[in-house]
């Protein structure tokens, strides 16, 4: 068995920003058009008028100020309300693979490694652009990695669940290094026409290089342990899948996109996530007080504050549990990895941190890491 480290991370940030003000203006224009189109039914009481969204509500309820997207004109067009993506021929790299390759290259460069040092690629995200061939194989080939690749999906916990697979592969010697990559193009399956959730998501891609510790660069993070949990809930759901055609479904049906019972999710997931991390730390002989930093899933600021408070027994600071959702919104599985990517440089050798995701399934994944001072230390 080998000791395993996170050698580096990479980040691809999409080119377009949508502020809450821009988003709300587009939604309110859409609502006005809908209300105009249904004016008679609204007057007759057979149709419910849409009410305006508000930037103040969004920031207060979620902590989100803006989000990045791959394409914004379609999202902000009140007659469209979804991004414009041009279909690509089979001979061209897919959009998911394209941004994944960029994030992987960023991670490889940060570790001073090349594709020749890597034996596997796991593409882990909340949605896949197509069923096959696997995006991971496309990414692997574009990078020039000899070995294997596969896709996996555990919604917002895709990255942490994939980290466990990568860690196990390296630990037992079937790979020297595995790239875990999380291309999250949430804008393509976000319900931009639903006032309750139109503000939640953003696009991004993260990558993590998991490597044998004796091969890892100085300052890498040893993985002390991983712990996964899932328990079924309908409170976050997307019914879109390959059966839609045989079921004569319309891809625009509301249940074919993301939907949730946000308040129930908030109430149920916070205690589960805190307990999960506590138990994980206990199994490693530690308590939350031994942890220098929590890199938490980024869905809602209040959720993160509550979870961190449950763990620490006091109000958490941004130093205890950094926030990136103000800038990125919820980026599904990538959120906790962006937090780690942006906020790990000041962790001293010997200090311990926890990466933790929570989301649809429900699914919770935690990864406990310790900063190393030099390779193999
Ligand atoms: N503008 C103004 N008012 C609004 C708006 C709006 N946009 N939306 C709702 N309101 C109103 C409501 O109508 C309601 O009014 P009233 O009190 O008169 O009925 C009031 O505001 C309060 O509404 P809510 O109870 O819905 O508001 P909350 O305070 O609960 O906040 C949140 C809503 C922000 C959604 C919050 O519940 C939340 O963040 N919950 C946690 C959600 C969460 O963590 N979900 C995880 C999902 S992510 C995941 O697992 C990955 C899925 C895969 C990725 C999919 C990518 C697309």
CB 186 near ligand 1, within 6 Å = yes
CA angle 65/275/287 to nearest 5° reads 100
Q: Average of pLDDT values for 132-141?
A: 98
190 lines ligand 1 (CB under 6 A): yes
Ligand 1: centre distance to CA 348 (Å): 37
Provide, rounded to the nearest whole percent, the portion of the chain with pLDDT above 70.
99
Q: What is the pLDDT of residues 240-265, one digit of tens each?
A: 999 999 999 998 899 999 999 999 99
| Nearest 10 degrees: Cα torsion 321, 325, 328, 330 | 110
pLDDT digits (tens, 9 = 90+) for 42-61: 999 999 999 999 999 999 99
pLDDT of residue 374: 64
Please compute the mean of the pLDDT values over residues 172-187 and round it to a whole number.
98
pLDDT of residue 167: 98
When pLDDT is averaged across residues 279-300 and rounded to a whole number, the result is 97
Range in 118-127, 253-262, 357-366 with the lowest mean pLDDT: 253-262
Class of the CATH domain delimited by 221-371? alpha beta
pLDDT at 373: 87
Q: Is 245 in the pocket of ligand 1 (CB under 6 A)?
A: no
- Domain definitions of the chain by residue range: 221-371
pLDDT at 375: 45
376 confidence band (pLDDT: 50, 70, 90): very low
Q: Which of 156, 197, 270, 356 is catalytic?
A: 156
Pocket test for ligand 1, best of 61, 68, 260, 328 (most atoms within 8 A of CB): 61
């Amino acid at each position: 068995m080998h000791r395993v480290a996170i050698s580096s991370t990479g980040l691809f940030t999409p080119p377009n920003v949508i502020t809450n003000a821009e988003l709300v203006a587009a939604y309110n224009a859409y609502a006005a058009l809908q209300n105009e189109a249904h004016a008679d039914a609204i007057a007759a009481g057979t149709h419910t008028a849409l009410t305006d969204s508000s930037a103040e509500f969004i920031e207060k309820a979620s902590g989100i100020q803006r989000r990045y997207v791959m394409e914004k004109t379609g999202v902000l067009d009140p007659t469209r309300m979804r991004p414009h993506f041009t279909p690509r021929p089979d001979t061209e790299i897919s959009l998911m693979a394209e941004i994944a390759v960029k994030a992987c290259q960023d991670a490889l460069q940060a570790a001073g490694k090349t594709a020749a040092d890597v034996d596997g690629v796991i593409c882990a995200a909340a949605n896949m652009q197509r069923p096959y061939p696997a995006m991971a194989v496309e990414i692997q080939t574009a990078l020039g990695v000899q070995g294997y690749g596969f896709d996996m999906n555990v919604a917002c916990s895709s990255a942490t669940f994939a980290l466990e697979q990568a860690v196990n592969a390296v630990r037992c010697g079937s790979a020297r290094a595995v790239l875990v990559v999380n291309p999250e193009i949430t804008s393509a399956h976000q319900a931009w026409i639903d006032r309750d959730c139109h503000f939640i998501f953003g696009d991004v891609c993260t990558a993590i290089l998991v490597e044998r510790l004796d091969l890892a660069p100085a300052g890498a993070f040893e993985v002390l342990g991983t712990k996964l949990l899932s328990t079924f809930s309908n409170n976050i759901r997307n019914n879109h899948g390959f059966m839609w055609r045989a079921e004569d479904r319309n891809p625009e049906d509301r249940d074919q996109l993301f939907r949730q019972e946000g308040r129930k999710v908030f109430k149920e997931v916070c205690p589960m996530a805190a307990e999960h991390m506590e138990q994980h730390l206990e199994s490693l002989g530690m308590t939350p007080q031994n942890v220098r930093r929590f890199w938490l899933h980024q869905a809602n600021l209040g959720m993160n504050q509550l979870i961190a408070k449950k763990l620490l027994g006091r109000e958490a600071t941004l130093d205890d549990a950094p926030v990136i959702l103000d800038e990125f919104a919820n980026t599904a599985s990538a959120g906790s990895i962006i937090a780690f990517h942006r906020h790990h440089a000041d962790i001293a050798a010997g200090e311990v941190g926890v990466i933790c995701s929570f989301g649809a399934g429900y699914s919770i994944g935690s990864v406990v890491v310790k900063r190393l001072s030099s390779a193999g230390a």
